[in-house]
Chain A
Amino acid sequence: MRSTFTLNINDERRTVTAPPRMPMLWVLRDLLALTGTKYGCGIAQCGACTVHLDGKALRSCVLPVGDVGDGHITTIEAVGRTDNGEKVQRAWMEIEVAQCGYCQPGQIMAAVALLNERPAPADFEIDAAMSGNLCRCGTYPRIREAIKLAATGKTDAMRTLVIGPSADSEVKEP
């Protein structure tokens, strides 16, 4: 029942032995200890498990390892090595999207896939691409804003100050 698969994950060859039906979510988490990809629902309803297969967003909880073949899987751990991934993650930090943070790997993967398709998405395109990713903390307004910031470099949203000696010295005494 188990087969051996050689997978291309985050540009590394990884060999796993698993039943072909085993979803990539659990291959990543339990066999490869890549725990950034999250379990939320198991039936493609929440998007917490979103990864990229050849740059496109997919729900890894319903993606059998036997169907991956030679496809390139990218997870949250490596998406920052791509241009759009780096831009999206930076925007996510600048306006501080995350609260509890559990759904955010999936949100970020969906957002990067959107920008891969549409470099400057309109609101309705953001809705279409992101409405399958649930966030219980309610960070949606900031997700929308961060996608726009990543796409355009501009935002009206409050930017965070990064803690560090330099940020601190910017603070003026009254």
Chain B
Amino acid sequence: MLRRELLKTGAFCVAFSLASKNRQAFAKSATPADAGNAAFSPNAFIQVLPDGQVRLTIPNVEMGQGIYTSEAAILAEEMDLGLDQVIVDHAPASPERYTMPLQATQLTGGSTSIRGSWDVLRSAGATARLMLINAAASRWSVRPDSCEAKRGVITHIESGRSLDYAMLVDDAQRQSVPDVVPLKDHRRFTIIGKPWQRTDTRDKVLGATRFGIDAQPPGHKCAAVIINPVWHARPRLQNAPLPAGAHEIVALDDCLAVIADDFWTASEVARTLSVEWDYGRCTPFDTAQLRKAMNHAASNAEALTARHDASWSGRTPAESAEYEFPALAHAALEPMNATVACRKDELEIWIGTQAPGRVLDAAHRLTGFPKERIQVHNHYLGGGFGRRVETDQVEQAIRIAMKVDYPVKVIWSRATDIRRDLPRPPFLDRISAALDDDGFPIEWTDHITGCSIFTRFAPQFMREDGVDPDTVDGADNLPYSIPSVHVRWTPFDMPDERPIGWWRGVGPTHNLFRVECFLDELADHAGIDPYLYRARLLQHSPRLLKVLHLAAEKADWHRPLDQGFGRGIAVGKAYESYVCAVVEVDATSTSEIRLTRCVCAVDCGVVINPNTIVAQIEGGLIFGWTAALWGELTYAAGAVEQSNFHDYRLMRMNEVPSIAVHLVESDEHPSGVGELGTAIASPALANAVFNATGFRCRRLPLVPAIAEHVQSNSGGLKQRLDNLVSSFTRQGGEP
């Protein structure tokens, strides 16, 4: 049903698969059935319509990362169209049809969209262009290479005859798919590489963008959910009269939904309702117990080997350290929500999701309706960050909707959004190194203890050796020239079977922090400048060396700083991209410590849109600093203690340093940028704090770590740290 809506009849359609780089995977098609016959499953379509429009249908979702505009630019470039002549549609939910190449389902995340679509989208666009040119050439009985295309018009150069793509729709249909299609030389790019305004920008500025929370289907009502922050707690049902204002109260086994005409009324009723809970199935735990359990696992539980170089012999390390990372909330500004209409034999869902395929699967599982009878309207996302790849909230909304006979919009309060988050899991990592006479590592031993997300989320991505590749990403693939490396991972399960989830930056966020901070420790131990120390170890990583030198040069690395100021550096490879950040902090004031400046160098291959890349890096850095300074979910009696932005701090305007992002010119395959800034932000900051104060932070977030350090230490540093703590506390307090 949906596919027929999608593919217009009478169009010239090139169907292709983002899941396959096989050139045979292209097919021309007038109908989806034809495309299906070609022994492959296309998941993306270029359609040239008789009215001259060119439509690109892709499975990615837009979260502010600019994917629609970037993919349109790639297509327009290879098809010789103007960017204004391409319309991008996101595909309807259908995981069988729209599986993403690097995700194995229809999901946008992990900085994979451009990485997965660059080659194949270019080939598809070039194929469509060549078939149109061949059609024109055969109509004129001239050689195809005597024709050129520009803005969707093909011209025979000698005679000056020309035809629009739209006039060639039928002819192109009859052309065979060419075997060899040359791609445009990078030097001839006229669209790729320019700061095009994103197609979603205008509506976002005018307040006209419809996010999931803005869906208002006719006759809908609003639901506020009463759910316990302690997992597995069940409400005890009581037969009380329906409070004034409430339309209905729906009871599920794990929550109550108060339904009213508007969300505020529903929330007010929910707030005043007294609910008794059955905690029989719960295992209450607090942060201290969680840390103890992780420590116990790290010391006693079996560790899986992620990498074991044959030359590693277990020499006595000269330096060792333990790094600890807390659970983190996503705290997207748009609280989790979904609107669902459950009718007799069909389901309609309005939601902003990173994973329409997972939403459809979940809806099918819960309702038993055939997938053709389930429609997922995907809206813009008020922040994804990995939270909106999950289906826990929409599943709850579906279960509520199945009990009522009108569309219901279920919105989580901010407190529920934070307390029922599927957080970035905590990690406890132990790292050590044996050093040569110059102080450089000859043996590197790294032991990570933490939860696996893939085990629950996509077990097919687990490695054959049992290692979750995400938990060791950035640790077992070190870019540094270190002769012998041994990396192990000890799986850990959260107490109370508490689920955890993806968070912007995924594995590299904790691994890059530990590696880059520990390397700073080694440089300090060797008495070598941390920038030069890294440079020496990166001699065989030319792209990393380039961003390292570029950032250091632009930051004027060797310029001396005044007393109380500090400068830190961190470099890394993640999501196939290369990044280096230099952060400066000012710790001179008795009232605050400030990030004053950040210089960041990025090599992400071909620059498709410099403006959106810089935006992603700026935002990613701020996301990372926010977590490094304040980010921590703490637990008491099995419940997350934080509830809103007064106790789950986000960085604010007055706390943001100047940020300069420098992009390396490159012809390499484009790579991920959405999470790159986040992963590199925190080690650069922590290294700058060390440079300014001499305090090495090994337990994030920085603010409480410094407070604890001050309590357990005295001496010359105390006065200085007292000042620091008062500044951090002030910044961390209620604004």
Interface residues of A (CB under 8 A from B): 1, 19, 22-23, 25-26, 29-31, 33, 35-43, 45-46, 48, 75-77, 80, 89, 92-93, 96-105, 108, 126-128, 130-144, 158-165, 167-168, 171-174
B262 within 8 Å of A (CB atoms): yes
A124 nearest CB across to chain B (Å) = 8
Question: Once the chains bind, are A158 and B614 in contact (CB under 8 Å)?
Answer: yes
- Determine, out of B35-43, B166-174, B328-336, B471-479, the stretch whose residues face the partner at the interface: B328-336
Contact of B335 with A136 in the complex, beta carbons under 8 Å = no
Instruction: A92 to B203: give the CA distance in the assembly, Å.
Output: 11
From A105, A131, A171, B653 is in contact (CB under 8 Å) with A131
Binding site for A on B (CB under 8 A): 63-65, 69, 82-84, 151, 187-188, 190-191, 194-211, 213-214, 216, 222, 244, 261-265, 267, 331-335, 380-385, 411, 413-414, 610-612, 614-616, 618-623, 626, 644-646, 650-656, 658-659, 735
Q: Is the CB of B644 within 8 A of A80?
A: no
Residues of B within 8 A of A35 (CB): 210, 213-214, 216
Question: 18 A–B contact pairs at CB < 8 A?
Answer: A23-B264, A35-B214, A46-B645, A96-B615, A100-B383, A105-B207, A127-B653, A136-B383, A138-B623, A138-B656, A141-B658, A142-B618, A160-B611, A161-B195, A161-B196, A167-B83, A168-B191, A171-B194
Are A42 and B83 in touch, CB under 8 angstroms? no
Whether A134 touches B652, Cβ cut-off 8 Å, given contacts A100-B381, A139-B619, A168-B82, is yes
Question: Are the C-beta atoms of A30 and B654 separated by less than 8 Å?
Answer: no
Query: A153 to nearest B CB, angstroms?
Result: 18
Q: Are A173 and B190 in contact (CB under 8 A)?
A: yes
Contact indicator A30/B653 (Cβ below 8 Å):
no
B654 cross-chain contacts in A, Cβ below 8 A: 127-128, 130-131
A100 and B615 in contact, given A137-B383, A174-B188 (Cβ under 8 angstroms): no
- B264: chain A residues within 8 A (beta carbon): 22-23, 25-26, 30
Q: With A93-B202, A131-B654 in contact, do A141 and B644 touch (Cβ < 8 Å)?
A: no
Besides the contacts A31-B262, A37-B207, A102-B211, what 17 more A-B pairs have beta carbons closer than 8 Å? A22-B265, A30-B262, A30-B263, A38-B213, A43-B646, A45-B645, A80-B206, A100-B380, A101-B209, A132-B735, A136-B623, A136-B650, A137-B64, A138-B619, A138-B626, A139-B618, A158-B610
| Minimum-distance CB pairs A-B, first 4 | A36-B207, A138-B622, A102-B382, A76-B207
A contact residues around B213 at 8 Å (CB)? 35, 38-39
Measured CA separation A137–B651 after assembly (Å)? 10
Whether A92 contacts B205 in the complex (CB less than 8 A), given A45-B646, A138-B620, A171-B191, comes out as yes
In whole angstroms, what is the CA distance A143 to B209 when docked?
19
CA gap between A158 and B615 in the complex, in Å: 11
Q: Which residues of A contact B621 (CB under 8 A)?
A: 138
A158: chain B residues at CB < 8 Å are 195, 610-611, 614
Residue of B nearest to A89 (CB): B205
With both chains docked as a complex, state the minimum distance between the C-beta of A159 and any C-beta of chain B, in angstroms.
7
B216 contact from A33, A96, A99, Cβ within 8 A: A33
Closest CB in chain A relative to B68 CB, distance in Å: 11
Q: Are the CB atoms of B244 and A1 closer together than 8 Å? A: yes
Minimum CB–CB distance for A150 against chain B, Å: 12
A163 lies within 8 A of B196 (CB): yes
CB contact under 8 A between A38 and B382, given known A22-B264, A99-B65, A134-B652 = yes
Please report the C-alpha to C-alpha distance between residue A159 and residue B610 in the assembled complex, in whole angstroms: 11
Are A30's CB and B207's CB within 8 A?
Answer: no
CA distance A165 to B205 in the complex (A): 22
Q: Quick one: closest A residue to B331, CB to CB?
A: A136
User: Which residues on the B side are within 8 Å of A1 (C-beta)?
Assistant: 244
Known: A134-B650, A138-B623. Contact between A160 and B201, CB under 8 A? yes
A-B CB pair tally, cutoff 8 Å? 218
Q: Is A142's CB under 8 angstroms from B615's CB?
A: yes
Please give me the residue from chain A that is nearest to B330 by CB atom. Answer: A136
Name the distance in Å between B627's Cβ and chain A's nearest Cβ. Answer: 12
- Do residues B200 and A101 form an inter-chain contact, with CB atoms below 8 A? yes
Report Cα–Cα, A137/B66, bound state, in Å: 13
Chain A nearest CB, measured from B158 CB (Å)? 20
Residue in A37, A98, A136 whose CB lies within 8 Å of B204: A98
Given contacts A30-B262, A96-B611, A108-B205, contact A131 B335 (CB under 8 A): no
A3 to chain B, nearest CB (A): 14
Contacting residues, chain A, for B63 (C-beta < 8 A):
99-100
In the complex, the answer to whether A77 meets B207 with C-beta atoms within 8 Å is: yes
Known A40-B335, A93-B202, A137-B64: A100·B653 in contact at CB below 8 Å: no
Cα A96 to Cα B205 with chains together (Å): 9
- Are A39 and B84 interface neighbours, CB within 8 A? no
Q: Which of B206, B333, B659 has the most chain A CB atoms closer than 10 A to its own CB?
A: B333
Q: Which residue of B lies closest to A75 (CB)?
A: B207
- The answer for the CA separation of A42 and B418 in the assembled complex, in Å, is 13
Chain A's closest residue to B623 (CB) is: A138
Closest residue on chain B to residue A101 by CB atoms: B204
Do B263 and A26 touch (CB < 8 A)? yes
CA–CA, A173 to B541, complex, Å? Answer: 35
A164 pairs with B653, CB closer than 8 A? no
User: In the complex, what's the smallest C-beta–C-beta distance from B26 to chain A, in angstroms?
Assistant: 27
- Assembly CA distance A173 to B384 (angstroms): 38
B206, A89: Cβ atoms under 8 Å? Answer: yes
Q: Contacts A96-B201, A100-B382 known; A165 to B82 CB distance under 8 Å? A: yes
Our pick among A89, A96, A128, A138 for the contact of B197 (Cβ within 8 Å) is: A96
In the assembled complex, the Cα of A138 lies from the Cα of B521 at a distance in Å of 30
Name the distance in Å between A115's Cβ and chain B's nearest Cβ: 15
B658 CB to closest chain A CB (Å) equals: 7
Complex interface: chain B residues within 8 A of A100 (CB):
63-64, 332-334, 380-384
Interface pair A46/B658, CB less than 8 Å apart:
no
Cβ distance A169 to chain B, nearest Cβ, rounded Å: 8
Question: Given A43-B644, A96-B615, A131-B653 in contact, is the A163-B382 Cβ separation under 8 Å?
Answer: no
Expressed in whole angstroms, the minimum distance between the Cβ of B591 and any Cβ of chain A is: 15
Cα–Cα distance between A34 and B214 once the two chains are bound (Å): 9
| Smallest CB separation, B185 vs chain A (Å) | 10
- A36 — nearest CB in chain B belongs to which residue? B207
Query: A167 CA to B84 CA in the complex, in Å?
Result: 9
Alpha-carbon gap, A104 to B208, bound state (A)? 11
Which residues of A sit under 8 angstroms from B382, Cβ to Cβ? Answer: 38, 100-102
The closest CB in chain A to the CB of B220 belongs to A30
Question: Which A residues are CB-close (under 8 A) to B206?
Answer: 36, 76-77, 80, 89
In whole Å, how far is A5's beta carbon from the nearest beta carbon of chain B? 14
